Amino acid sequence: MRSLHIRAGMLATAFCAAAFAQTTAEAPAYAIHYEQAFKTGQKFTVKVRDTLRYASKTQLPDGQVAPSDSLRRLVLDGELRVDDVDEKGRVTAASVTIGNFTQQKTAGASQIADALPSELLAPGTPVALHWKDGKVAFESKDDGSLGDEAAAALRQLFPPLPESSADNDAIYGVSDKRQVGDTWPVNVQALAATRDVPQGLDPDHTDGKVTFKAVRTIGGTACAQLEATLSSKNVPMEGTEAKESAVTATFSADLPLDKGKTVVSTHLDAKVHAVTEQKPNGMGTIRRTLDIETIHDVSWLPK
């Protein structure tokens, strides 16, 4: 009986030691790199989804309400080749072969499921992209012409290179290695200073946090899954003074842990809410409420 108690005690001690070792084991830490250096000749399978929801409501002095909403969705699938990069490794020229490029538009956001997509460019269309001097230009390699609607849609999906000195590492990154579950603040001073934020966010009214969500594999490459959340109040509205205004955004990215590899997988969901009031000629108050949501998903998977 004594030996049974001794063995049971030894077993319990072993279990406790194992549990202690598990809880005290150092979790792996990783360097976080938002910015990636591309190389000429790299090829990617590209998928881009962009949705814009717009809703407004105007309340007239007599109490009548005039609502308005719309929705536009762009879908692009294709094969992309990097033709040139700048000194930072950013893509400045690329060739895209269209696989699918469509647009859905409706004057009623609830009717988007019934709106048939219209083709912007036919499958197989070769498109050249060039980024220079804060602008981006597109042309068909077949005849040089794309049409205004297709060009405008491409400009929405492939915006100009950021002109600000504050890159994503300066805004969302962190200098030391981090573990899954760690959080750190967004550098709102750097974010507010960039010209790429049209509202010119006031850092005194802006908060943001980055969370290291997980490590997962994207396109065969181990990536850090990061999520940044932002909120800002008292956002200036162009041409009018808002009674209330706010911006909220969630920016997610899968970033290669190996800095020598390039994968692009990002998700952005940004919402703008504003209320304005006007009193034209002293005839009462016109109150307008505006809500805009942009959802942008991008993946460039290396071939």
* Domain coordinates in residue numbering, the chain: 2-302
The pTM (predicted TM-score) of the whole model is 0.82
Give the mean pLDDT of the chain.
Answer: 83
Q: Tell how far CA 35 is from the center of its chain.
A: 14
Q: How far apart are CA 70 and CA 277, in angstroms?
A: 22
CA-to-CA separations, 98 to 10, 91, 102, 119, 151, in angstroms, rounded? 67, 18, 10, 11, 13
Asked whether the predicted pLDDT for residue 160 surpasses 80, the reply is: yes
Predicted confidence band of residue 14 (pLDDT cuts 50, 70, 90): very low
What's the pLDDT at 164? 62
Average pLDDT over residues 68-81: 94
Say which DSSP state 134 is in.
Answer: T
Q: Which of 229, 248, 245, 225 is nearest to 289 (CA)?
A: 245
Q: Are 79 and 91 spatial neighbours (Cβ–Cβ below 8 Å)? A: no
Contacts of 37 (CB under 8 A, 6+ apart): 85, 88, 89, 259, 262
